[in-house]
Chains A and B, each alone.
Chain A
Amino acid sequence: MSKTTFVVGIDGSDAGERALAFAKSRAKAGDDCTIALCYVIEWSPFSFQTPEENEERHKRREEEISMAHSRVLDPAVEATKSDGCQVTGTVKHGDAAEILDNLAKQLGAEQIIVGRVGARGLKERVFGGVTGRLVASASVPVTIIP
């Protein structure tokens, strides 16, 4: 019996929900399968901040993490559990593509499942979306749910 893990990126959007729904149906199809839910708060250590923002950074970070848990991650973990799937949940700061891939490597995951986030204006076109970068850099197969 093989043990498999799916890393699922969620962000509170419908796309994330669809990714989770897909992961659940796949997990039920297999036997010993764990869904590793991950919520990434976009953040860069190389951004520029004012002294005041720096002073409050630690507090804001705690708030961001607890809000991500209460609003998105914890309900999703509960819902997945009640559907009879094994599930873990993490919240991390950083670049979503990088974090999801690192998590997949760390857990020896079989694949990463994310929802496709619609293009959001110029920024998305110039820099490429999270999904685009993930596909370009991931070390395991990536499934993108439209």
Chain B
Amino acid sequence: MKKLFTAATLATLTPLATYAQEATVDEQINAAFSSSTGWFVNLIFMNIPGTSFPWIVMWLVIGASIFTVYFGLIQVRAFGHAISLVKGDYSDPDDAGEVSHFQALTTALSGTVGLGNIAGVAVAVGIGGPGATFWMVLAGLLGMASKFTECTLGVKYRNEYPDGTVSGGPMYYMVKGFKERNLPGGGVLAVLFSVFCILGALGGGNMFQANQAHAQISGIVGDYPGWMTGVVFAIVVFLVIVGGIKSIASVTEKVVPFMGVMYVVVAFIILLVNYDKIGWAFGQIFAGAFTGLGVAGGFVGALIQGFKRAAFSNEAGVGSAAIAHSAVRTKEPVTEGVVSLLEPFIDTVVICTMTALVITISGVLVIDPATGLYVLNEAGSSIQTTDGSSGVQLTSAAFATGFSWFPYVLAIAVILFAFSTMISWSYYGLKAWTYLVGEGKTKELIFKLIFCVFIVIGAAAQLGAVIDFSDAMIFAMAVVNITALYCLMPVVKREMESYFGRLKSGEIVKHKH
């Protein structure tokens, strides 16, 4: 593992500047990556035989459905309590100064709210039509139960060290939880998870972000070599994660939520202005969800796109959130699980739906006036858009119908979202890394340096294969994590029943403020 990374680091450090210009290097890396990792990518995204449905999407949705049933619609029952917890109603005043539920939630959110909400949704609606929104919301609602399960376990089995720091995440509940229940294989799962998590952090949490941020910037200022973006990003990330310059991180952590709120507010205003079309848009969403309205792949296409984008966007079941949420100060692990179920709600049900509604209402998707169905593009792969754009550009175009200046704000938002996602994933990757190789300043520094190098690679090269691979890695985390969740869900149920029992009996009460 380590050798592979060292080799990769050396290989990339030397010809760094030549990367962007010499397509041959890109192609070589692409080819090498495809041939060695392609089988894994194909395995992860393989369709269920006889369908065009990737099994991994099914895996996440079935997992989420099982947790939803097993915990008796926890996402509905505990929703009000979750808000109460975030407001601090149940926080012990003597714990003031510790990590609050609000902080744990927002930290985790800044890792998930990002390109998935902006670019991913546009892809889903572009290919699957407005009906994809319905399935996306459904997957988001179900995913709340997955988050609840993993975050409760994350807090319950976290490590608290003598110096007062805490470390938690799937690798810890896999080892400790399995041991407690006398189940075999916890250690193996933990190692597998850590390996996937490191690669997922370098890929989806890093290269993909850098790559998309560069695409967005060059879309506005004109084309220029990607390594320039990469180097700037890498320097800033380096200053934060290696140099410990907290001010940059805290500025981002403050601006990102602001951007998120602004995004929703602007979307809301556009919807208000077009209030007469909202009924129609919902009609499109419901009709499209079951009939497809003539989009690529019909009804199944809408369903797959919706489910897939929700999973990409909110990471429910992936295990990353369990790392982020485990630092909270609470005596009851269930409370953090309850708080965490707000995450897919905010990310998918609110922000993604807003994006989808704006795209639908704005009229950027071309409709055939005669039939009322969507017009497919020449390739027949997605819906024809008024300006031929897709992804971030499509969202941008849709918002621009309401506010012409919005694409600039969106560009800034994309950059900040990408940056905050990188900071979050550098931490997730680091946790997995130290789990494998042990803690220590030098060991941590090695990972952080590798992480920064991969930012440059991600922004500079058109490494489609590498990006596919990193997406596959994030889903591979989910395969390992959900397996562990199935084994440990009785523990969560016990905790949940005990906690809500005491809440009902009045043993747990609100603190006065």
Contact = CB atoms under 8 A, between A and B. Distances in A.
Check if A and B associate: yes
Contacts of B424: 50-51
B113 interface: no
A40 to B, nearest CB: 10
A51 B99 contact: no
Interface string B80-116: 0000000010010000111110111011001100000
B294 interface: no
B253 interface: yes
Contacts of B427: 50-52
Given A57-B98, A61-B97, A51 B324 contact: yes
Interface in A85-110: 92-94
B166 interface: yes
Contacts of B249: 50, 53
Interface stretch (A3-11, A21-29, A41-49, A74-82): A41-49
Contacts of A53: 246, 249
Contacts, number: 88
B96 A55 contact: no
Nearest to A49: B103
Given A41-B97, A92-B96, A94-B96, A50 B253 contact: yes
Given A45-B91, A45-B103, A48-B110, A58 B253 contact: no
B329 interface: yes
Given A56-B165, A57-B98, A61-B97, A48 B327 contact: no
Given A45-B91, A45-B103, A55-B166, A50 B327 contact: no
Which of B106, B323, B327, B428 has the largest count of A CB atoms less than 10 A from its CB? B327
Contacts of A92: 96-97
Interface residues of B, number: 37
Contacts of A62: 164
Contact of B250 (A41, A50, A56, A64): A50
Interface residues of A, number: 24
A59 B327 CA distance: 12
A119 B210 CA distance: 43
Given A43-B96, A54-B327, A48 B103 contact: yes
Nearest to A58: B164
A20 B498 CA distance: 49
Nearest to A99: B96
Nearest to A43: B97
Contacts of B240: 50
B423 interface: yes
A51 B88 contact: no
B164 A59 contact: yes
A1 to B, nearest CB: 32
Contacts of B166: 55, 58
B402 interface: no
A55 B253 contact: no
Contacts of B257: 48
A55 B327 contact: yes
Nearest to A63: B164
B327 A45 contact: no
A131 B202 CA distance: 48
B310 to A, nearest CB: 23
A61 B98 contact: yes
Given A48-B256, A50-B240, A54-B107, 9 more contacts: A43-B96, A45-B103, A46-B103, A50-B107, A50-B427, A51-B327, A51-B423, A93-B97, A94-B97
24 contacts: A41-B97, A43-B96, A43-B97, A46-B102, A48-B106, A48-B254, A48-B256, A50-B249, A51-B423, A51-B427, A52-B427, A53-B246, A54-B104, A56-B164, A57-B97, A57-B98, A58-B164, A59-B165, A61-B97, A65-B97, A92-B96, A93-B97, A94-B96, A94-B97
